[in-house]
Amino acid sequence: MAEWISPNSFNDPNGKWSGETNAYDDNAGTLASDGGNSGYFAELYAPYPIRCTKVRLFSVRFIPPSGYTSANVDIDLYYNGQWNHLFDGNLGSYLQWREIALVSEQIVTAMRIRHTGSNYFWLYEFDFYGDSAGVRALAGGGLTNGGLTEKGLV
């Protein structure tokens, strides 16, 4: 059965983000921030390979001292042994859930996101949507993110 699945770990390859675990703590009151460092990816890893059909995020672009607007972002998903482009543009909404569908179902193990505009990008939550049952059985079940990394899946 398909369901929303939160990431369970992250990578910040350039050390430009803060609060990354907040992007998958199931609390829309906490956030991960790029600290105004536009253009740097944060990577979020699925807890196991997911038969994914769409993703969703809850985010905002913060313009000091107190303005908010929708953000320009670049989102990639990891499947078939490489990063694959999903979305590049303005999310068109802010401080509400935005869903983005994949062109076709894929076995996804990670996502990465970067803000491509100015000011600050705040990512409150991110989720994959899909079914894990068949994939976990094929993978032998019980894979952790560390296992995915060791097997070269992320």
Residue 136: the pLDDT is 58
**Which pTM value belongs to this model?**
0.84
| Distance separating alpha carbons of residues 101 and 88, to the nearest angstrom | 13
What domains can be seen in the chain, in order of their start residue? 3-131 (2.60.120.260)
Residue 151: the pLDDT is 40
Residue 27 has pLDDT above 80, yes or no: yes
Through-space distance between the first and last CA atoms of the chain, rounded to whole angstroms:
24
Residue 146's pLDDT band (cuts 50, 70, 90): very low
Residue 60's pLDDT band (cuts 50, 70, 90): confident
